[in-house]
Amino acid sequence: MTTVASYIRERATLAKGSTRVLSTLSSEQKNTALGRIADLLESEADALRTINERDLAEGRDAGLDPYFLDRLVLAPENVASDTRGVIGLPDPIGQTIEGRTLPNGIYLSKRRVPLGVVGCIYEARPNVTVDIAALALKSGNAAILRGGKEARHTNRALGELIQRALAESDVPAEAVQVVSDPDRAHVDEMLKADDLIDLVVPRGSETLIAHVRANATMPVVAHGEAVVQVYVDREANLAMALEIVDNAKTRRYSICNAADTILVHAEIAPQFIPALADRWAGKVTLIGGQRALALLPGSTSV
């Protein structure tokens, strides 16, 4: 019987075993594999949407709110485009960061090399599975990925697609491992496997990040809680500023980098704030101080 611990160690061992080959891949080889991932995302788009709908249906049955469900939606063509964007990024491996000649004549340099196996624990968004796999491959790293249980069917399908693309590109398919089992015990086992996983990156709620920081036995790279601000300067083009701020907030309300704070220069505020309120009427509630809301008839500060 396979235990959670043995399952994670098996997956991590497979990923670890691919790192020597990954570290020697040329930029052309890595970009070929990335291109194949993008191609399959497009050619298998309908099948992926069908699988994604299974996650969405289960989410609706479970009573997930509309904003959470929006985060579960997979747009294969958009993910394919993002993957091709990674192809255009410079290959970081082998770059010399700094160097100097020592008094004894030896040249000492600091160069970028792969980390090894990067573990990532994240929530909701299935596109993150491809995003992280693509960035890991570009930087010569293997990845073991554990997404949220709400997207498990989609994540499993994406993992299989990525492995197929790697194999077809003569890159070790084992380089990307997806843990789709919803049992949260898999997360804790990943955090114990410091002999196989070199770095872990949590992406999600404060609770998730705190748990990873408290329990990981390997280095952790985690983001902090951010405030997404947009500043409108006094010299800004009013029409353009309205379009930018509106897009930053309303393109997709559910994303973590949707604008939540608008800073407006006092000289343009009398024109900008009323115009923004008109644009957002019935869509966004404006919460502000006395100076800002005084520009809106009938408003009171909150």
Which of 160, 186, 215 is where one domain is finished?
A: 215
Residue 234 DSSP SS3: coil
258 and 135, same structural domain? no
Residue 300 lies in a domain: no
Looking at the structure, tell me whether residues 166 and 83 fall in a common domain: yes
Task: Please indicate, yes or no, whether residues 18 and 127 belong to a single structural domain of this protein.
Answer: yes
Averaged pLDDT, 195-221? 95
Q: How confident is the model at residue 226 (pLDDT cuts 50, 70, 90)?
A: low
- Looking at the domain assignment, is residue 298 inside a domain? no
Average pLDDT score over residue span 168-191: 96
Q: What is the CATH number of the domain that holds 172?
A: 3.40.605.10
Answer whether residue 91 is part of any domain: yes
Write down the pLDDT at residue 1.
45
* 298 band by pLDDT with thresholds 50, 70 and 90: low
* pLDDT at residue 300, as a whole number: 45
Question: Are residues 233 and 211 part of one domain?
Answer: no
Mean pLDDT of 75-83: 97
Is residue 50 situated within a structural domain? yes
209 occurs within a structural domain: yes
Residue 204, pLDDT score: 85
Q: Report pLDDT digits (tens) over 93-118.
A: 999 999 999 999 999 999 999 999 99
Read off the CATH number of the domain in which 254 is found: 3.40.309.10
Q: What confidence tier does 255 reach under pLDDT thresholds 50, 70, 90?
A: confident
Q: How much is the pLDDT for 299?
A: 57
Q: Is pLDDT at 63 greater than 60 in this prediction?
A: yes
Reported as a pLDDT band with limits 50, 70 and 90, residue 257 is confident
Residue 199 lies inside a defined structural domain of this protein: yes
Residue 223 lies in a domain: no
Region 42-69: mean pLDDT is 96
Q: In terms of domains, do 200 and 281 share one?
A: no
**Any domain includes 262:** yes
What average pLDDT does the segment 177-184 reach?
A: 92
* 246: containing domain: 229-293
Per-residue model confidence (pLDDT) at position 256: 73
**pLDDT tens figures, 155-178:** 999 999 999 999 999 999 999 999
224: pLDDT confidence band, cut at 50, 70 and 90? low
If you average pLDDT over every residue of the chain, what do you get?
A: 93
Note the pLDDT of residue 260: 87
Which one of 215, 245, 260 terminates a domain?
215
